[in-house]
Chain A
Amino acid sequence: MKKLILATAVAATMGLGTAQNAMADRIALVISTLNNPFFVTLQEGAQAQAEALGHELIVLDSSNDAARELSNVEDALSRDIDVLLINPTDSDAVVSGVRTANARNVPVITLDRSANGGNVVSHIASDNVAGGEMAGEFIIEQLGGEGQVVQLEGVPGASATRNRGEGFMNAIEMMDSIELVATQPANFNRSEGLNVMENLLQAHQGIDAVFAQNDEMALGAQRALQASGLDDVVLVGFDGTDDGIQAVNDGKMSATIAQQPARIGEFGVTAADRLLKSESVEANVPVPLQLVTQE
């Protein structure tokens, strides 16, 4: 895959792309990072759909750096793209990039994370609030409506943290007999998930269920629970990464709320395709989430 991106980039810089296929529309995907399986899969989904629809897709990696993101947008615009797909590093920081594209009259579609300003034609993302609710309801059902629950939060202040947390709280607050005994940040990170879960196990006895706001933290927590011999704790992750789904199938996690990153990428390119054909595009395109449990 990396070779393919490289080849696309090289071809594009050398002008070979246009020479070989002058009719292909150019779509740029400025992606927050390719240093994370989720976004790699998103990019692969977009790439596959672009090939299927016969568009040229230029992928630029922002490495989670807002400054690089802006220069990626500028670089993409200087290559005369027709549509800009952007997966922001940060909803606020991306605004200047969106405005730059607006000024050049290139339509912008945001993927996964939204932009807090500028003119965006369409936003394509999983519904994180609904996903959090799905996790809460699954836990309530597994516990028979009663028990002590712990939540591992993502990076404080991130929109995914807020929305997943909000959905989860909506679900469990409906039940008086479900008690949230702790909610602590582990920054979407596996090793922090392990450490924080170990610490919480020291402070709380009789935890019945854990909701981790992503699979990485859930996999870390799973190590801590396993080491303490607490194999029957209901453990729910979020994202449906390869490792997460594997853990669910192995019975190490109870469930994961799977995002479908490949479909986010695919929907993005489809929306771009509709724009290029002057068809209408919804302002918000929710990409369905999936509750994945052991088969």
Chain B
Amino acid sequence: MLSLTRRYRFCASHRLHSTSLNEEENRALYGKCNNPWGHGHDYVLEVIVRGPVDPGSGQVVNIGALDRLVEQTVIGPLDHRSLNQDVPAFAGTVPTSENLVREIEQQLLRAWPSAFSHSPAVLAGIRLRETKRNHFETLR
């Protein structure tokens, strides 16, 4: 079994605030992450692709095609944005990294079949690093 992991970066701001909770409860739950003006992170995204090595190209996945897909579906929409204000998925959803990693995976899965229609490569999972000290991953 062979997998390839490619790392990407984007910078975005967010505020953790649940409309299901009152001001005090939000502060108690999210602490500094609930500050009204928000704050930001240099997110690192690791995209893990699994599949056989194509005997002709020697590749599991074409890196250029993967870069274009991630740029179009993730980096373009999220980089240097306010997740709460600029990204429709977070209009009513708290942009925790748990919710963000799930949203990114859904966007990649949605675009995957047309980007890699002639390739057996599959998205094996993604890993999102919010800071150097915490990361979130989906394993499929």
The answer on A and B forming one complex is no
Chain B residues close to A by CB (< 8 Å)? none
